[in-house]
């Protein structure tokens, strides 16, 4: 038997349980991975609460988790290029990553560069693919002035660095506690909240070329007020606002996950991009981890520690 996070019905974090499940072997074309770290995302919380029932229904007892990193413990028939003991970054579509073991198609893991920490690797998939989708959607170019709303979140922090490395001037909307981090990164942080439009106008009197919204609320209206072309405005959360104003709403499903992760992992290994992790919890405290996420503030990601960090990898 091994452990997996499950929930027997829709509800708050109190429905999350760590249960014993029968171990499954890797079938043909599959690998089995002993999970070291697993990420958490607000989309999973929405599914667990039942808010996505019409589009992404749960099948009870439902499992949870897409992001993970771990060590390959079994390789199925027909799998080439992956060996037992390999450290990997995974991207599951089976709602099963918050568990001791994940069995999935071998194409859904990439090698984990040893320069990337287990925490960073475990939280990379959803935030990373979404960040690439955001910069691609608005076509960030050298010399652009780009506003990134919600820059301190998992998606925002990666998007910020991707836009910066694409040669853009980045104005990042953040809370008070994150101002210093973004200054040190070499971008221009600006406090979100009342007066944001004036603060951005003061920083960029010549105008803003592109706007990436990872937070929602009235950010799309702000982008329009700043005169940003709707075709160069993207949101990953305000879908009704996007329909109303005519902006883009391109999320993680618009990119090739494997190619994107390979690219991000290589760039992180070179030290070009980092993914801060502001909190970690043992797997058995999964409910506390989602309660912390729901507070809505922090720098980067929260990850679950599933097993001891291996000596190598
Ligand atoms: N469509 C897709 O494909 C897709 C994929 C992934 C995520 N999403 C959605 O995108 C959103 C962001 O995801 P995430 O994983 O990056 O979330 P997250 O890591 O939980 O981000 C929370 C961040 O929001 C910031 N924040 C709080 N209040 C704010 C405000 N008024 N203005 C600007 N920023 C504020 C906080 O920064 P401070 O600490 O500075 O306050 C915090 O760092 C979520 O709603 C998620 O569901 C969509």
Alpha-carbon distance of 105 to 123, in angstroms, equals 19
Which pLDDT score is estimated for 175? 98
The low-confidence residues of the chain, meaning pLDDT below 50, are: none
Element (H, E) at 143: none
Atom 2 of ligand 1, nearest CA residue:
251
Which pLDDT score is estimated for 310? 82
Which pLDDT score is estimated for 313? 62
Indicate if ligand 1 lies below 6 Å from the C-beta of 276. Answer: no
Indicate if ligand 1 lies below 6 Å from the C-beta of 149. Answer: yes
Q: What is the CA radius of gyration of the chain?
A: 20
| Strands in the chain per DSSP E | 2-7, 17-21, 30-39, 62-63, 67-75, 87-91, 101-105, 109-111, 145-149, 169-174, 188-191, 210-213, 233-235, 277-282, 301-305
Indicate if ligand 1 lies below 6 Å from the C-beta of 173. Answer: yes
Mapped onto helix, strand or coil, the DSSP state of residue 85 is: coil
Which pLDDT score is estimated for 312? 61
All domains in the chain, ordered by first residue:
2-124+275-305 (3.90.180.10), 127-253 (3.40.50.720)
- Asked whether the CA dihedral 68, 69, 73, 75 is positive or negative, the reply is positive
Residue 215 CA: distances (Å) to CA of 36, 113, 184: 29, 30, 22
């Amino acid at each position: 038997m091994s452990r997996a996070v499950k929930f027997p019905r829709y509800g708050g974090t109190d429905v999350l349980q760590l249960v014993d499940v029968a171990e499954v072997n890797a079938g043909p074309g599959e690998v089995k991975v002993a999970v070291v770290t697993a990420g958490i995302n607000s989309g999973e919380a929405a599914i667990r609460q039942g808010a996505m029932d019409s589009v992404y229904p749960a099948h009870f007892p439902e499992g949870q988790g897409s992001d993970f990193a771990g060590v390959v413990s079994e390789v199925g028939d027909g799998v080439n290029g992956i060996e037992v003991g390999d450290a990997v970054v995974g991207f599951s579509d089976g709602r099963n990553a918050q568990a001791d073991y994940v069995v999935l198609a071998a194409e859904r893991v990439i090698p984990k560069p040893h320069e990337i920490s287990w925490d960073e690797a475990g939280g990379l998939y959803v935030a990373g693919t979404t960040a690439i989708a955001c910069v691609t959607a608005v076509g960030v170019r050298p010399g652009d002035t780009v506003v990134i709303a919600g820059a301190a979140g998992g998606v925002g922090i990666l998007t910020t660095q991707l836009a910066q490395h694409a040669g853009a001037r980045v104005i990042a909307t953040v809370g008070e506690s994150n101002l210093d981090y973004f200054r040190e990164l070499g971008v221009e942080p600006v406090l979100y909240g009342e007066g944001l439009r004036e603060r951005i106008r003061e920083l960029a009197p010549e105008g803003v070329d592109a706007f990436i919204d990872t937070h929602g609320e009235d950010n799309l209206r702000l982008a329009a007020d700043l005169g940003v072309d709707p075709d160069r405005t993207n949101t990953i959360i305000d879908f009704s606002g996007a329909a109303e104003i005519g902006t883009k709403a391109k999320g993680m499903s618009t990119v090739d996950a494997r190619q994107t992760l390979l690219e991000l992992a290589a760039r992180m290994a070179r030290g070009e991009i980092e993914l801060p992790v502001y909190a970690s919890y043992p797997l058995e405290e999964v409910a506390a981890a989602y309660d912390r996420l729901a507070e809505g503030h922090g720098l980067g990601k929260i990850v679950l520690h599933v097993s001891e960090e291996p000596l190598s990898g």
